[in-house]
Amino acid sequence: MSSWDRRPLAAQSKAAATALRTQVVDVVGPFSPFWRERLKTLGRTAASVATLEAVAQLPAVGERDVCPDGDPAGAAALVVQAGERGWALHAEGPVLRRGLARRLVAPRSYAAVVEADTRPTSFVWAGLAMRFPVASTRRDLDVVARCGARLWSVLGLTRADVVVSALPLLPRAEAQALSLGALGAGSPLLAPGNAPDAVAEALGLVPATVLALPADDAAELLDDLDQAGAPLDGVRTVLLVGAPDDDERAAARAALERAGVRDAVVLAVHVPDGHRLPWGECRESGGGSGLHTYPDLELLDAVDPATGERADGAGPRELVLSQLGMRGTALLRWRTGDVVDAVTPEPCPACGRTVPRVVGTRRAALVPPLSLRDGVTPVDLRAAAGGLVGRPDLDDWRLVVRRSPRDGRDQLLVHVRPAASATASDVVTAVDAAVRSSAGLAPTQVVLDDDLPADGHPLGSHLLLR
């Protein structure tokens, strides 16, 4: 069989269809309490949604769907929870045979086999407007580590590379993916945290060829390292972790220039919120070719951020992912909060890999941190939009985030065009209440507006940043 990143599209789809069927029928459908309930509510069975076409029609879900009252404890319902009896019905053949053979001689060790397949052994934090643990089983961590070898090949690294990671010392999926990835790829990695002194010390003591930096903080950190006299001349690859935007990329390049590092390649690495696998840009492109993904381990889609429904065509949309073959917190049709320009199946023009690429990623753009009266709070625009979609008293609406010229604070404005049958003042009151209840936050103002705003940075057809 050809390698994972060179398979023709048809072969990829066939493998994904098989993996999806197993994931939905044998894992998520029976054992994820959230999806078990949701499928029941939708009047569907796991088997009926276990095809590529059918799963794409399922409304996508995000953290607010799983935790509707804003309590992050709700996310536990995404974790696959298999009992011994249910497991025997759904486990894969070889694992099942081993388990059943053990059951005859040692019932306790049968339980151990069930546990090994389903029991979370590690957590990382995820969440955009809230914070909740994402669980991984040992097998999931193996998948993440094995992905490291793939990531290394995309990034053009080898086991001879030595990594210093300046990511914050937080239990986040990026840090876990990078350290397990290095393990799987056979590269040594030192992760001293993101304090400039500690990173400079690490660079002085190990012969780093790869420096991983948080995308939003990379330029400043590079300047600090330069000031501290940290040896950077051996660095050939700088990884900007967190899908850098154009400004962050340019700032990092300029800081490298200032530090006298002229021949390092700057590449993006990104783990979407809730996911565990790291995507990278290929070295051949020198950055900017889009994030290369893993077609046998995940299914990608893009939805209208206002509704969570499938949206074909052009324009910014929200990235949605389904994990194939992961246990622990098993994500199906998961809304990542990232806005992307496209998920393209076209082979990469730079490296020729045939894997889907995610292009034009704006990380967590749908849950921007807004500076409001009570401090900085991440506001879930998808949840706010949820209070507006499909209302009979509205002809149309726009959700606008803008900076107030008066006090420099952010404002969340809802522009509405009431339906002819509705009374304007009633609409204002009802919309205010609806957003308050769906997003847990009152809009700054509900504006009656016949000409809905069109200028600004679009995050979808109904959401604007100004």
How far is 338 from 360, CA to CA, in rounded Å?
Answer: 10
Q: In angstroms, what is the minimal distance from the CB of 160 to Zn ion?
A: 21
Binding mask 275-304 for Zn ion (x = CB under 5 A): -------x------x---------------
CA angle 279, 281, 285 (to 5 degrees): 165
Are 214 and 168 in contact by the 8 Å Cβ rule? The answer is yes
Instruction: Give residue for tokens 């304007």.
Output: 424
Decide: helix, strand or coil at residue 345: coil
Q: How far is CA 462 from the centre of its chain?
A: 22
Q: Which is nearer to Zn ion, 25 or 350 (CB)?
A: 350
How far is 100 from 338, CA to CA, in rounded Å?
Answer: 43
Q: In angstroms, what is the minimal distance from the CB of 270 to Zn ion?
A: 15
CB-based contacts of 43, cutoff 8 Å, min separation 6 = none
What are residue 189's DSSP bridge partners? 163
Inter-axis angle of helices 138-155 and 107-118, nearest 10? 40
Q: In angstroms, what is the minimal distance from the CB of 398 to Zn ion?
A: 37
Q: Which is nearer to Zn ion, 113 or 348 (CB)?
A: 348
C-alpha neighbours within 13 Å on the C-beta side of residue 283: 16
Q: Which is nearer to Zn ion, 52 or 350 (CB)?
A: 350
Q: Torsion angle of alpha carbons 168, 170, 176, 178, nearest 10°? A: 0
How far is 239 from 219, CA to CA, in rounded Å?
Answer: 12
CA angle 67, 395, 304 (to 5 degrees): 45
Q: Which is nearer to Zn ion, 218 or 282 (CB)?
A: 282
With contacts defined by CB under 5 A, how many residues of the chain interact with Zn ion? 5
Q: In angstroms, what is the minimal distance from the CB of 352 to Zn ion?
A: 7
Are 295 and 113 in contact by the 8 Å Cβ rule? The answer is no
Q: Which is nearer to Zn ion, 20 or 348 (CB)?
A: 348
Binding mask 336-365 for Zn ion (x = CB under 5 A): ------------x-xx--------------
Are 413 and 445 in contact by the 8 Å Cβ rule? The answer is yes
Q: In angstroms, what is the minimal distance from the CB of 285 to Zn ion?
A: 5
Q: Where are the alpha helices (DSSP H) in 361-402?
A: 381-386
Q: Which is nearer to Zn ion, 225 or 348 (CB)?
A: 348
Q: In angstroms, what is the minimal distance from the CB of 7 to Zn ion?
A: 15
Q: Which is nearer to Zn ion, 202 or 348 (CB)?
A: 348
Q: In angstroms, what is the minimal distance from the CB of 365 to Zn ion?
A: 24
CA distances from 314 to 199, 311, 344, 366, 396 (A): 42, 9, 11, 18, 21
Q: In angstroms, what is the minimal distance from the CB of 155 to Zn ion?
A: 10
319 binds Zn ion (CB under 5 A): no
Q: Which is nearer to Zn ion, 292 or 398 (CB)?
A: 292
Q: Which is nearer to Zn ion, 351 or 414 (CB)?
A: 351
Sheet holding 410-418, edge to edge: 445-448, 410-418, 394-403, 463-465, 457-458
Q: In angstroms, what is the minimal distance from the CB of 212 to Zn ion?
A: 19
Q: In angstroms, what is the minimal distance from the CB of 290 to Zn ion?
A: 8
How far is 310 from 170, CA to CA, in rounded Å?
Answer: 34
DSSP output for 33-46: HHHHHHHHHHT--T
Are 32 and 10 in contact by the 8 Å Cβ rule? The answer is no
Q: Which is nearer to Zn ion, 269 or 330 (CB)?
A: 269
Q: Which is nearer to Zn ion, 243 or 348 (CB)?
A: 348
Q: In angstroms, what is the minimal distance from the CB of 442 to Zn ion?
A: 45
Residues engaged in binding Zn ion (CB under 5 A): 282, 289, 348, 350-351
